[in-house]
Amino acid sequence: MANITAQMVKELREITGAGMMDCKKALQEVDGDTEKAIDVLREKGLSKAAKKADRIAAEGLVTVEINEDNTVASIVEVNSETDFVAKNQDFKDFVKETAQMALATESKDLEAFLAETHSEGNSLKEVLNSKIATIGEKLDIRRFEKLTTDGQVVGYIHGAGKIGVIVELDTQARDERVLTLGKDIAMQVAAMNPKYVSRDEVDAEYIAHETEVLTQQALNEGKPAKIVEKMVTGRLEKELKEVCLLEQAFVKDPDVTVKKLVANVAKEVGSDIKVVRVVRFEVGEGIEKRSENFADEVAKQLKN
C-alpha cells in the first residue's frame, strides 16, 4: 500500500474540487495513482472540476483594482462558459476578490499566483475549484497583470466587464485632471485597441512588413513604380496614426490627437506627463469559441 501524503491529497483536491476525505479514500483505493483516483471520484460523482476541464470557457469578466493613491493597479480576466454565469453575483464577487489579491501579489506568473492563500484560507486554485463545483461550469483564471508606478495609474471597465484597461502615467502631478486624462486615455484604448503607445515602440520588423505589403498593394493597383515609394510612405504614415495611441485622433474630440491632449493637460497642471504603458484585456480574446449549435449540445448531453 502506497503512503498517501497530504501533498497528494491536496493536489487531487485542486484537480477535482472534491472533499479532502473523499480524495484521501480515492487515493487509498487505487494505491496512490492520481489518474485512477480522478476516475474513482468521477464515477462516484464527487469530481466537480476534472470532468469540466475539456469545456471551453470563453465568456467571463475583466476587472480592475487600484489602490488609494493611484500608484498600484491590477487587472484580471476570469472566464466562464456562459454569459449567464458571468452575470452571477457570486462569480462577480470572486473576480473582484481575485483582482484584490492581484493588487497585493508579488507573484510574477499565474501558477505562483494561484498557489497564494485566498481570504477563505485555502489556495486561490482550491477556491476556484470550489466555485466550479458550486456554479457547475468550467471557470478559469486566465491572466492577471499588476502595474506599480511613482506616477499615476488609472483604470477603466467597458461593457459591464467585457473590456478592461489600465494606463500608467509618468508624472509628478497629483491632480484630478491627471486622473481624468488617464480615464480618457483608457477609454480610447478600450475603443481603438492600439498596438503601440508611441512611434518609438514600433519595431523595425513591423515597419518592414507593412512597407512590403503596401508596396505590393500599390503595384497591384497598377501604380507607376516611380510614385509607389511616395504612396507607400503616405499610407504607412496613415497606418501609424491608427496603430499608435499617441498619434490617434482623440475619440471625444477628433480634432485633437491623444499626444496633444496629454500636452494640454500637462500644461494645465504644470507638470510633465508621459504615457508609459497601457494594458488592455478583452474577455475571451484569442480563445477559440465553441461553434456547435444548441441541438448538438443537447444531443451530446443526452448521451452522457
Domain end: 148, 179, 209, which one? 148
> Is 80 part of a structural domain of the chain?
yes
Burial class (CB in 10 A: 0-12, 13-18, 19+), 267: exposed
Q: Supply the range of the domain harboring residue 103.
A: 55-148
| Residue 196 in domain | no
User: Which residues 6+ apart lie within 8 Å of 206 measured at CB?
Assistant: 195
Cβ-based burial of 149 (10 A; exposed 0-12, middle 13-18, buried ≥19) = middle
- Would you say residue 11 lies in a domain? yes
Cell, residue 162: 467585457
CATH code, domain carrying 141: 3.30.479.20
Last residue of a domain, one of 129, 148, 167: 148
Looking at the structure, tell me whether residues 128 and 64 fall in a common domain.
yes
Q: Are residues 66 and 26 in the same domain?
A: no
Total structural domains within the chain? 2
115 and 66 within one domain: yes
What is the predicted pLDDT for the residue at 294? 46
Instruction: Identify whether the C-beta of residue 98 lies closer than 8 Å to the C-beta of residue 141.
Output: yes
Pairing of strands 152-158, 163-171: antiparallel
Q: What is the CATH number of the domain that holds 15?
A: 1.10.8.10
Give me the pLDDT at residue 202, please.
Answer: 92
14 plus 39 within the same structural domain: yes
Q: Does residue 133 share a domain with residue 106?
A: yes
H/E stretch holding 105 reads: none
Cβ neighbours around 174 below 10 Å, total: 13
Query: Quick one: DSSP state of residue 284?
Result: T
- pLDDT tens string, the chain, 304 residues long: the values are 678 999 999 888 888 878 888 899 999 999 999 989 988 887 777 776 666 666 778 899 999 999 999 999 999 999 999 999 999 999 999 999 999 999 999 999 999 999 999 999 999 999 999 898 888 888 999 999 999 999 999 999 998 999 999 999 999 999 999 999 999 999 999 999 999 999 999 989 989 998 998 898 888 888 888 898 889 999 999 999 999 999 999 999 999 999 999 999 999 999 999 999 999 999 999 886 654 444 555 455 455 4
Last residue within a domain, chosen from 32, 52, 72: 52
Could you tell me if residue 162 is inside a domain? Answer: no
State the cell numbers at 130. Answer: 470550489
In this structure, is residue 174 part of a structural domain? no
Does residue 108 share a domain with residue 77?
yes
The 10 Å Cβ neighbour count of residue 36 is 14
Classify residue 154: in a domain, yes or no.
no
Nearest to 98 by CA among 83, 70, 77: 77
Residue 89 lies in a domain: yes
125 in a structural domain: yes
Q: Assign 166 to helix, strand or coil.
A: strand
Q: Are residues 22 and 71 in the same domain?
A: no
**Nearest CA to 77 among 148, 13, 166?**
166
